[in-house]
Amino acid sequence: MIQFNNQIIVRSDDRDRIGRDAQEVYYEELPRGRYRETVVRPNGVQVVTVYDRYGDVVERSRFTSDGREYVLVYSDGGRRDRDDRRRSWRDPGQDLPPLRLTIPANEYILDAGGVQDEDVYYEFLEQPPVEPVRRLYSVDEVRYSARVRDSVRRVELDTINFEFGSATITDDAIPRLEGVANAMNKLLEKNPGEVFLIEGHTDAVGSNEANLALSDRRAESIATALTNVFGIPPENLVTQGYGETYLKVKTEEPERENRRVAIRRITPLVAPVANAQ
């Protein structure tokens, strides 16, 4: 748990998930307190991540066995490394005007429960942001700024709800991921640099801190299933738990619909090639 101003946030760490089953993982020190992590997989793929002195992702690329590089994340976080103090958090969404949707709500938020044809997932996720992207954002800026995230569309996986206090996905729930997983893989075939944010949520029962941790584990569970069952590379998935902050059903009582995850395609926000296009 970390605190930005008066806001408590759970800090997701995807290093274990990305490094799982690796042949080798090694680290190199870089100037200004940065360090580089290289994950080498048995198939020759390397995932190279540069972290700043605070552990925030500055850059991440995947190198295929034939040497091709796919940039997944890039931010100009180096400027803050010149300061010995950790930066104070300022929501980049404060620089954006209020969101004005010019499309129907069902083209902005897709409820998985209403999807009859899995091609709908691909057509939905392929769509551009609902407003012009002002600049390239870091992964953490996207994770922590609701206003920045709201510029891209969201799939509500309301077909998968967790048991109270649990982050476990039951075996019978796995097939309900297939449609969106196939869409994500189809997008990755077209652009291996796609990045997806998996958001975890809880109902309002329990403490804020406990719910933040639980929601983060739920996001991780979905990300792990997408990798282990459907073959989506873990480096293309970013996870973040939001606890009880964004209730789907406004109630303080136990509510199964609030114990859920959501998926956004955040490539246009974090990847330089997508941003340029």
Tens-digit pLDDT profile for residues 62-119: 999 999 999 999 876 444 444 444 456 788 999 999 999 999 999 999 999 999 899 9
d(CA 169, CA 143): 23
pLDDT of 21 > 90? The answer is: no
d(CA 26, CA 39): 7
pLDDT tens, position by position, 131-173: 999 999 999 899 999 999 999 999 999 899 899 999 999 889 9
Note whether 177 and 226 are within 8 A (CB): yes
The greatest distance separating any two alpha carbons of the chain, rounded to the nearest whole angstrom, comes to: 54
Phi–psi pair at 82, nearest 5 degrees: -75, -10
Length of the chain: 277
d(CA 171, CA 190): 30
Which pLDDT score is estimated for 277? 43
For residue 54 the two structure tokens come to 């605070």
Question: What is the domain partition of the chain in residue ranges?
Answer: 2-9+88-276
d(CA 19, CA 10): 21
pLDDT of 47 > 60? The answer is: yes
d(CA 13, CA 213): 12
pLDDT tens, position by position, 169-211: 988 999 999 999 999 999 999 999 999 999 999 999 999 999 9
Query: For residue 223, which of 262, 187, 255 has the smallest C-alpha distance?
Result: 262
If you average pLDDT over residues 211-219, what whole number do you get?
95
d(CA 246, CA 240): 13
Which pLDDT score is estimated for 258? 93
pLDDT of 247 > 50? The answer is: yes
d(CA 196, CA 135): 18
Residue identified by tokens 């990300």 is 223
The one-letter code for the residue type at 55 is G
For residue 104 the two structure tokens come to 């129907």
d(CA 170, CA 172): 5
CATH numeric code, 2-9+88-276: 3.30.1330.60
